[in-house]
Amino acid sequence: MEDLKLKYVYIDRQHACVDGVMLEHESQGGAMLSELYRAHIGDWPKFFKMDTLSKVGFLASDLLLKAIGREKPGEEYTSDCAVVLFGTTASLCADRNYQETIQDADNYYPSPALFVYTLPNIVTGEIAIRNRFRGETSFYVVEKADAAQMAFHLACAFDDDVTAGVLAGWVDSRHNDDFQAFFTMVTRDDAKYTDRLAAAIQTIMDNSNI
Amino acid sequence: MGKDRSVLITGCGIVCAIGLDKVQVLDSLLSGRSGIGPVRYLKTGHTEFPVGEVSMSDADMESALGIASGTVTTRTSLMGMMAVREALSQARLSREDLNGAAFVDGTTVGGMDKSEQYYLDFSAGNSRDAYIKAHDCGSCSEMIADRFGRFKYITSISTACSSAANAMQLAADMIRLGEADIVVAGGSECLTKFHLNGFNSLMILDRNQCRPFDAGRAGLNLGEGAAFLVLESRESAARRGVKPVALLSGYGNACDAFHQTASSPDGEGAYLAMTKALADAGLQPSDIDYINAHGTGTPNNDVSESHAMMRLFKESLPPVSSTKSLTGHTTSASGSIEAVICILALQNGFTPINYAFENPMEDGIVPNMKLRPDRPLRHVLCNAFGFGGNDSSMVLSYAGED
Amino acid sequence: MEEMILKLKQEIIEVLNLEDVKPEDIDNDAPLFGEGLGLDSIDALELIVLMEKNYGIKLQDPAKGKEIFKSVNVMADYIQKNRTK
């Protein structure tokens, strides 16, 4: 990754790493996400209402954007930054949480707040809402990390005249305490490296144990 | 104007509450017949909500498709197979022709219907693995695709109610980039308790026939169905000697960036998606002869979409209708179902009416109630917006006489 | 009533995941929606579920929530008058 000069963020249930530097934290799993949010972000209380997939994606994207020099999300809406995410679990974790609210006929209170997260593209929406991105937002649910496939979709994101950068990443959440994310930002200048970037994501995910 | 980037559509198939194929759907559109009624097939306690069901049981569809009973299928995959079969037949594609082709399927519910039937057995340890394995969206897509050939690439897109529209956009991207000559793309979605309950928890289901763009609208009616289209490069169609039924001449996708489920009051995402689609097609707003709106019938969507359309089209707003008033909201499949409805409109020179409309809403568009348009249809716009603020719009164009 | 209001505030904080909000931060007469707590339409729906689940009050028209969720005081008053459990 070093020679690509792309900044990145990696998060799993025990670790959070920005550009090779581990972030300090005391808790693990879901509690770690809240701890990191309080320590590094803190100005977006909606965070606590999100499902785990969105929390991880939100945290990873915000830490990344900070690392590449953004102090605060812009006031202006932009269409030049696409969000293209990949993952295997999609909204499975939110699906389970919502299903529990309709499982028992004697205790039957479908939760709207849980239902709205039973879609994988809500995480891309949350990132877009935070950053006022109005460009492409995609979440590709895949069986496993496949470099060629990811490279293709990342390249497609630049097949227009407006996309200057792609917030690209991998995000999974199997349970509220079991998740993983890898986020990076690819600019149009870096677009020729999408093959290598995708290969790097594949390597990281192949070596993970989610 | 740059070079022609339009992608050919050489076949399409549809199954929904107003018909089991294109002929039936066309007939319903021309006679303004709604397919919305009391629930028949979905096993739910919520019988107070009318729905737009496909009027066949799973067993009926299995038998129509020649599938042996006992085979693992889902309602989503069965409806998908019906639509793909019709699309391939119109495009004159054989099994062998599909070897180099791609299959892009928009669905979000996937095989959840069978999971609902068998999940308790499964979690109690009684093996219904085959059905649980069919739960995910990818399995449904593969079930549909594998029935028709050995596609070189199969994928599913789940962006809620813009899924099938995005499937078509990915398919068109693949053809434009030379990744494939033929892509079968669309979407399929059956009704389930999971999302009926979910939409009910959001309190956006109308207890009566839905009334998009009406002052008294009180929500949507859920529907189900499938539609698939064969997207093809000019070279491939010329080589095979097939003529297009319509052109996908432009498309756009934008994020509303407002709320997980609600649309922004000014419809910025919708506005951007339509603007992008027009620019991609190299057209002006005045070139559009009809808009098939997303028009769910919820108070929120119809205001937001109205604002976006009025802002973009100003004085040149063409006839607009929401055919969800006839089919119900077929969620993930709505983009391709309404694309096929647009193609039927282009081919047969009519503008589908907005069923059940009575009173104009405040500060909104007045939908089309006239079947015969004032001018021939050349280009039409088809909108599909999904939760997550995922907004898509497509320009479909007349491909000429046969 | 005091006790009921405190309990209601705790329930609101819990179902709406208002992690960094304490009961005393919520003014009894301040609007629940709009500025302040930063609640949105989904939160309103969750409050409707809360009323059904904890107090047996069924609302069919989400627009009615607007009246009831004017403030914690108004909400508590409505619950007192209409609760079935």
DSSP B107-153: -SSTTHHHHHHHHHHHHTT---HHHHHT-SHHHHHHHHHHHH---SE
> Would you say how long chain A is, in residues?
210
> How is chain A split into domains, by residue range?
2-206
pLDDT at A195: 85
Q: C38 in contact with B at a CB cutoff of 8 Å?
A: no
Q: B123 in contact with A at a CB cutoff of 8 Å?
A: no
DSSP H or E segment with residue B320: strand B320-321
Smallest CA–CA distance, residue A82 to chain B, in Å, is 9
Q: Are the Cβ atoms of A98 and B198 closer than 8 angstroms?
A: yes
Of A33-47, A167-181, C57-71, the range with the lowest mean pLDDT is: C57-71
- Round the CA-based radius of gyration of chain C to a whole number and report it: 12
Is the per-residue pLDDT at B14 higher than 90? yes
For residue A116, which amino acid is it?
Answer: V
Smallest CA–CA distance, residue A76 to chain B, in Å, is 12
**Above 0.85 for ipTM, yes or no?**
yes
Q: Are the Cβ atoms of B160 and A133 closer than 8 angstroms?
A: no
For residue A190, which amino acid is it?
Answer: D
- The torsion angles phi and psi of A57, rounded to 5 degrees, stand at -65, -40
Question: Cα B145–B199–A34 angle (5° rounding)?
Answer: 95
pLDDT at B119: 78
Greatest Cα pair distance, chain B, in angstroms, is: 63
pLDDT at A131: 95
Q: Which of B332, B104, B125 is nearest to B225 (CA)?
A: B332
Q: B208 in contact with C at a CB cutoff of 8 Å?
A: no
Give the domain range for residue B25.
Answer: 8-240
Report chain B residues whose CB lies below 8 A from the CB of C40: 259, 262
User: How many beta carbons lie within 10 A of that of residue B40, not counting itself?
Assistant: 10
Is the per-residue pLDDT at A209 higher than 60? no
Query: Where a domain ends, among B223, B240, B257?
Result: B240
Report chain B residues whose CB lies below 8 A from the CB of C48: 203
Tell me: the pLDDT tens digits for A188-206?
888 778 888 888 888 888 8
Q: C46 in contact with A at a CB cutoff of 8 Å?
A: yes
Is the per-residue pLDDT at C37 higher than 90? no
All structural domains of chain C: 2-82 (1.10.1200.10)
d(CA B167, CA A124): 17
Per-window interface: C 58-77 vs B, CB < 8 A: 62
User: Mean pLDDT of all residues in chain A?
Assistant: 90
Q: How far is CA B250 from CA A37, B227, B373, in A?
A: 41, 19, 23
Q: Calculate the dihedral angle through the C-alpha atoms of B319, B158, B21, B240, rounding to the nearest 10 degrees.
A: 100
Specify the 3-state DSSP secondary structure of B11: strand
Contact partners, residue B145, CB within 8 Å, separation at least 6: B103, B105, B151, B154, B184
Tell me: the pLDDT tens digits for B236-246?
999 999 999 99
Q: How many domains does chain B have?
A: 2
DSSP H or E segment with residue B345: helix B334-348
pLDDT at B101: 98
Q: How many CA atoms lie within 13 A of B249 on its CB side?
A: 26
User: How many beta carbons lie within 10 A of that of residue B316, not counting itself?
Assistant: 11
User: Mean pLDDT of all residues in chain B?
Assistant: 94
User: How many beta carbons lie within 10 A of that of residue A199, not counting itself?
Assistant: 16
Which of A110, A121, A126 is the closest to B390 by Cβ?
A: A121
Is the per-residue pLDDT at A97 higher than 90? yes
Is the per-residue pLDDT at B138 higher than 60? yes
Whether residue B16 lies in the annotated active site: no
Smallest CA–CA distance, residue C45 to chain A, in Å, is 7
Judged by phi (left if over 0) then psi (alpha if -120 to 50, else beta), residue A136 lies in beta
Query: Where a domain ends, among B240, B274, B300?
Result: B240
Q: Are the Cβ atoms of A109 and C53 closer than 8 angstroms?
A: yes
pLDDT at B1: 40
Q: A69 in contact with C at a CB cutoff of 8 Å?
A: no
Which of C17, C19, C46 is the closest to A112 by Cβ?
A: C46
B47 and B103, same domain (yes or no): yes
Task: State which residue of chain C sits closest to A110, comparing Cα positions.
Answer: C49
Question: Cα B205–B134–B52 angle (5° rounding)?
Answer: 25
Tell me: the pLDDT tens digits for C64-77?
888 899 999 999 99
pLDDT at A3: 56
Report chain C residues whose CB lies below 8 A from the CB of A48: 17-20
- The torsion angles phi and psi of A151, rounded to 5 degrees, stand at -60, -40
pLDDT at B269: 94
- The secondary structure of C8-77 as a DSSP string is HHHHHHHHTT-TT--GGGS-TTS-SBSTTT-B-HHHHHHHHHHHHHHH------HHHHHHHTT-HHHHHH
Whether residue B137 lies in the annotated active site: no
d(CA C57, CA C78): 10
Confidence grade of residue B313 (pLDDT, cut at 50, 70, 90): very high
Is the per-residue pLDDT at C8 higher than 80? yes
pLDDT at A153: 87
Task: State which residue of chain C sits closest to A31, comparing Cα positions.
Answer: C19
Please compute the mean of the pLDDT values over residues A17-27 and round it to a whole number.
95
- What is the rounded end-to-end Cα distance, in angstroms, of chain B? 27
Of A137-151, B16-30, B213-227, B294-308, the range with the lowest mean pLDDT is: A137-151
Contact B199, B222 (CB under 8 A): yes
Confidence grade of residue B128 (pLDDT, cut at 50, 70, 90): low
Question: What residue has token string 């349970």?
Answer: A175
B221 and B264, same domain (yes or no): no
B222 and B274, same domain (yes or no): no
B159 and B13, same domain (yes or no): yes
- Round the CA-based radius of gyration of chain B to a whole number and report it: 20
pLDDT at C10: 96
Tell me: the pLDDT tens digits for A45-78?
999 999 999 999 999 999 999 999 887 887 888 8
Question: Cα B338–B340–B344 angle (5° rounding)?
Answer: 115
Say whether domain A2-206 belongs to CATH 3.40.47.10. Answer: yes
pLDDT at B127: 65
B207 and B273, same domain (yes or no): no
B236 and B254, same domain (yes or no): no
Confidence grade of residue B62 (pLDDT, cut at 50, 70, 90): very high
Tell me: the pLDDT tens digits for B152-206?
999 999 889 999 999 999 999 999 989 999 999 999 999 999 999 999 999 999 9
Confidence grade of residue A21 (pLDDT, cut at 50, 70, 90): very high
pLDDT at B201: 94
CATH code, domain with B387: 3.40.47.10
d(CA B382, CA B309): 12
Specify the 3-state DSSP secondary structure of B106: strand
Task: State which residue of chain A sits closest to C50, comparing Cα positions.
Answer: A109
B180 and B264, same domain (yes or no): no
Whether residue B307 lies in the annotated active site: no
Q: What percent of chain A has pLDDT over 70?
A: 97
pLDDT at B402: 53
Q: Is residue B104 assigned to a domain?
A: yes
d(CA B257, CA A127): 8
Confidence grade of residue B378 (pLDDT, cut at 50, 70, 90): very high
Q: Is residue B66 assigned to a domain?
A: yes
Contact partners, residue B249, CB within 8 Å, separation at least 6: B5, B6, B7, B280, B281, B282, B283, B379, B395, B396, B397
In this structure, is the dihedral angle defined by the CA atoms of residues B337, B339, B343 and B345, taken in order, positive or negative? positive
Q: Is residue B402 assigned to a domain?
A: no
Question: Cα B25–B30–B34 angle (5° rounding)?
Answer: 65
Q: Are the Cβ atoms of C49 and A112 closer than 8 angstroms?
A: yes
Q: What percent of chain B has pLDDT over 70?
A: 98
d(CA B113, CA B123): 16
Query: Where a domain ends, among B240, B261, B289?
Result: B240
Which of C17, C20, C52 is the closest to A49 by Cβ?
A: C17
Q: B176 in contact with A at a CB cutoff of 8 Å?
A: yes
Q: Is residue B3 assigned to a domain?
A: no
pLDDT at B3: 62
Which of A34, A48, A112 is the closest to C45 by Cβ?
A: A112
B151 and B196, same domain (yes or no): yes
